[in-house]
Chains A and B, each alone.
Chain A
Amino acid sequence: MAPARTATTPIVLKKSSYYLLGTVAVIALAAIGLTRTTTTNELPAHSADASPGERIFWAGGCASCHATPVDGKRAKGDDKLLLGGGLELDTPFGVFHVPNISPHVEDGIGDWSMLEFVNAMQHGVSPDGRHYYPSFPYTSYAKMNTEDVMDLRAYLATLPEVAGTTPEHALDFPWSVRRGIGLWKRMNLKSDPVIDVAEDDEQLLLGRYLVESAGHCGECHTPRDGFGGMIASEWLGGAANPDGEGKVPDITPSGKNVSGWSASDIAYYLESGFTPDFDTVGGTMVAVQENMSRLSADDRAAIAAYLNAVPAAHPTN
């Protein structure tokens, strides 16, 4: 057995040297400016309207993270409109503290310009030019129509101001190096759709838009690679729970939890929170379902049609 051990040891050393080299290369690339922020300087000619923006607010699930918890519990009812932040996301990368996005001028985003808001939502860049961590799902929001983002901004401006700021994120090295996110974005920030659907099927196009962009369903339901990028070939195929124990289920046609669900079953689940078996929605999906219940029946039907049309992530199941 002794020779085998001596044969193994140098390989392990080699692997770690490669890892070290890789890390050095990443830092070097970062140093030569690949991590610069990319933003847009032009807004589409669009007059932002708060009324359609409310639909985007619920589709986008802003309140699920940004509404200030009440007595340590998830905000419910009208408390979902108090976006003072404060929720903690305990992830394998460290703890994220969700910030205040209420219209408060000093503590929230009240003094942001429309352009700054769009750059935050679709490019993951703060008004002072820093990269946001992708815990803020801008990789999905990048796929939104900018007009919808502008309407959302108009709606957010109508909500109550909430005072108070939240702590900085407490992340472990190397995730604490914010500049590295620039590289990550180069690999993962894309504005084109994930799944091909018939370009003349308006319902599927709407469903794809709601699921892939604003709804950001893939952020939890799609597994990620070693660098935290979503694996497109397993789109919505289920993943480890990013915030806690257990798994987030496969919601493609191969998913055991949604096996045999018709489009009307999915739509009714999103409306009422009841599965076809008459069990109730649970876990982090409760907040999502409550948001979806605020959408129109047409929007929910479109989401359902899209979910039944996506490729099975695990066809052999």
Chain B
Amino acid sequence: MYKTSIRISVLACALAAATLALAGDDPGHERHELMEGVRDAAKPVGAMMKGEADYDQATLMTSLETFASAADQLGGLFPDGSEGGEAAPAIWEDRAGFEAAIAEWQDVTAAAIAANPATLDDAKPVVGPVFGACKNCHDSYRIEEE
């Protein structure tokens, strides 16, 4: 009896460790990490838009590529059963709307990349919709945690 329970404990620990190692199987964690990366990429762009940093085309393009890659991955990180965190129930209740919001983000990001803006004045009109897409999607599909 005692030996059995030790065996079970060891097995449980091993399973827990395996789960930790395979954090990729936790969509809640994965999408949080992905969004953190998007935010980090948005910061230098925001500083340029605010006039706090000099315009740098290469920095903008790197950030836009990060957005494009994240937008491609995002839709797959909300499987059934992964509800919770800051993800609004609306994601599962209105899947089509959620996917349309992601598609919108993909479209405006692709347009900004294609524009390859050389100056801040060229960048503002194409970056505006990209930031707008963040806000629009959050407005409907993200809830704030206390």
A residues in contact (CB < 8 Å) with B: 73, 246, 264, 268, 272-274, 277-283, 286
Contact = CB atoms under 8 A, between A and B. Distances in A.
7 contacts: A246-B146, A273-B135, A277-B39, A278-B43, A282-B138, A282-B143, A286-B135
Given A246-B146, A280-B138, A286-B139, A264 B52 contact: yes
Contact of A280 (B43, B49, B134, B143): B134
B39 A279 contact: yes
A278 B42 contact: yes
A286 B136 CA distance: 9
B131 A274 contact: yes
B4 to A, nearest CB: 47
Given A264-B52, A282-B144, A274 B138 contact: no
A14 B135 CA distance: 55
Given A268-B50, A277-B39, A282 B146 contact: no
B103 to A, nearest CB: 17
B131 A272 contact: yes
- How big is the B interface, by class? 10 to 19
Contact of A283 (B43, B50, B131, B144): B144
A260 B29 CA distance: 29
Contacts of A272: 46, 49, 131, 135
B135 A281 contact: yes
A278 B135 contact: no
A264 B39 contact: no
Given A246-B144, A280-B134, A282-B143, 6 more contacts: A264-B50, A272-B131, A274-B42, A277-B43, A278-B39, A283-B144
A175 to B, nearest CB: 28
B90 to A, nearest CB: 10
A280 B135 contact: yes
A279 B142 CA distance: 12
Nearest to B138: A280
Given A264-B50, A272-B131, A273-B135, A282 B142 contact: yes
Contacts of B39: 277-279
A277 B38 CA distance: 12
Top 9 A-B residue pairs of the complex, sorted by shortest distance between their CB atoms: A278-B42, A282-B144, A273-B135, A280-B138, A278-B39, A280-B135, A278-B43, A268-B50, A286-B139
Contacts of B143: 282
A30 B17 CA distance: 71
A269 to B, nearest CB: 10
Nearest to B51: A264
A281 B136 CA distance: 10
A246 B135 CA distance: 21
A64 to B, nearest CB: 13
Contacts of B139: 280, 282, 286
Interface string B126-146: 000001001100111011101
B146 A278 contact: no
Contact of B46 (A274, A282, A283, A286): A274
Contacts of B40: 278
A273 B140 CA distance: 14
Contacts of A281: 135
Nearest to B39: A278
Contacts of B140: 73
Nearest to A282: B144
Contacts of A264: 50-52
B12 to A, nearest CB: 37
A27 to B, nearest CB: 40
Contacts of B50: 264, 268
A279 B52 CA distance: 17
Among B42, B51, B135, residue most surrounded by chain A Cβ atoms (within 10 Å): B135
Nearest to A267: B50
B54 to A, nearest CB: 16
A279 B35 CA distance: 10
Nearest to B35: A279
Q: Taking each of A272, A274, A278, A286, which has the highest tally of chain B beta carbons within 10 Å of its own beta carbon? A: A278
A281 B49 CA distance: 17
Nearest to B42: A278
A281 B146 CA distance: 14
